[in-house]
Structure 1
Amino acid sequence: MKWKIILFVLSLNIAFSACEKKDISVFSTDDTGIYFQMIRGYYGTNTEVYIDSLDFSFASVQASIRDVILNATVRTMGKVADHDRPFKVVVDKEGTTAMEGVHYEIDVDTVVIPAGESTAYVNVRFFRTDDLMEKSVRLALRLEDNEYFKCYFPEYKNMNTYTTTGVQIHGDSFSFTLSEMYTIPWYWRVIIETDYFGEWTPKKFVVINMVCGFTMADWDRAGGTGAKIIYGRCGFFATMVQKYLQGQADAGTPVLDSDGKYMQLDPDYAVDYSRYE
């Protein structure tokens, strides 16, 4: 009987101990954290989805656009300050194939978190170069510690809700991939190649789009009701391009095609390059 009483008392003590309030140690520091966090979109009504890289193709914009400015979003964790705070971002040489001054330009010496803010943007200007039609290039950025900020998040989940399954992305690095690679539009290959523009090449495609103001969306809708590109107007478009190419040739700046030869269309719209022979 005594053993039963002792066991009962011990069980009560264990139960009371389990209910006692415990002091839990938490992370605390005067340092402020900094990390990349760009929102890709939303899942449902409250879940944000984040990315640590961005792909861009010049094929998605008009041929007259020669450069674009893209940015990476930087956020901070900690107190907001009443003064500008510089942060440190560098080009990761190991992860970068793009050439500074050729494919991009960036000013990493003036990036700051503005006073009263917890977000900033690292802006990069990317240039439309001919080699992007044949390959993609990559620019990788990396955050580093400085006197104002620490990189506490090398990785984190790509969603802002604990209940949603996500993947790990980088918090201290962000990359851009640039290209301008095209495929032959079906309408060119099936309908108009032999009558108007001749053999398809990436550079010729860009010139035609520039002169005529076409976009990839126009080629996707080609031949349909209300489309900009229809067979009946292709003679007019070919004439526009021929006049542009002839004007460049007459001005002493002939346009070269992807193979290094002078650009030509169908023989009915031939450009006279005889002065260069």
Structure 2
Amino acid sequence: MRKYIFILGIIILSLCACSKEGLTQYDAAKNYLYIPNDKYMDTTFVTFKHHPGIDDYDVFFEVRLIGIQLIEDKSYSIEVVKDKTTAKVEDYTLDTEQIFHAGVLKDQLKITLHNTAHLLNETVRVTLRLTPNENFGVADYLGESESRAQSLTASVAFDNQISKPSWWNSDIEMNYLGEWTPIKYEKFIESCGGEVLDLSEYEGYQIMELAVKFKNDIEKYGWKDKDNELIDLPIY
């Protein structure tokens, strides 16, 4: 009787080991790959407006290995999830066979985005999915940490429109630049000599220097926001 219970247990575990998207069952002889996604935000956002002069932009997603480190490089497979993708074929380049390198437990998946004309008026999305091949199985939702969830998919939304950068947070709003608006952001870039800066890499005193210069430029050039009033900053 114990023998039959044991066999039944193995069958149940095998069924539970299937990925949520039904791609594969676990094979104990294989290594597995997954993409660690933030459980609150599973999409990366890119705008070419933050990368002036760039027509092709590489986006990388981390891919992790469950199993033993490889002794030689091996390929793994990626596919585009068509029903979760709005980008046109000409908007991106993806190699559907990518390399997981020997001797590491983390590697990168690359997709190249292209700054096509319709991105001026449209935000598009590409969703990618790991698929099993002769080298790797896939490991979907094996568990969660506080902020990460293991997944088969990665998604990037992109356009060529002015959008609020991630560093323009409540601290920046309250203490340096005020509420974000498209016009204010465009003029801030102009005040910075046309350079698109990532203020998350700056110290507070450096941000204040930029804010003071911006305020002086607003007064010097009479820069106005959408309400036809001078752009307002929370500094004096």
Q: How does 1:139-218 map to 2 (within 5 A)?
A: 139-153=126-140, 155-159=141-145, 164=146, 169=149, 171-182=151-162, 185=182, 213=194, 215=196
Task: Report the equivalent of 1:136.
Answer: 123
Task: Report the equivalent of 1:53.
Answer: 43
Task: Report the equivalent of 2:114.
Answer: 127
Stretches of structure 2 that go unaligned for 5 or more consecutive residues are: 1-8, 15-26, 164-180, 200-207, 224-236
Counterpart AA for 2:151: G
Task: Report the equivalent of 2:93.
Answer: 105
Kindly indicate whether residue 57 of structure 2 is the aligned counterpart of residue 77 of structure 1: no
Counterpart AA for 1:149: F
SS at match of 1:131: helix
Q: Please, which of 87, 97, 101 is the counterpart of residue 114 of structure 1?
A: 101
Between the aligned residues of both structures, percent identity stands at 20
Cα gap change, 1:77 to 1:131, in 2 (>3 Å): same
Q: TM-score, normalised by structure 2?
A: 0.58
Task: Report the equivalent of 1:21.
Answer: none
- Backbone CA RMSD of aligned residues: 3.8
Distance in 1 of aligned mates of 2:47 and 2:85:
17
Of structures 1 and 2, the one scoring higher in RCO (CA 8 A, sep 6+) is 2
Q: TM-score, normalised by structure 1?
A: 0.50
Following TM superposition, by how much is the alpha carbon of 1:127 offset from its aligned partner in structure 2, in angstroms? 1.8
Distance in 2 of aligned mates of 1:145 and 1:178:
27
Count matched residues.
172
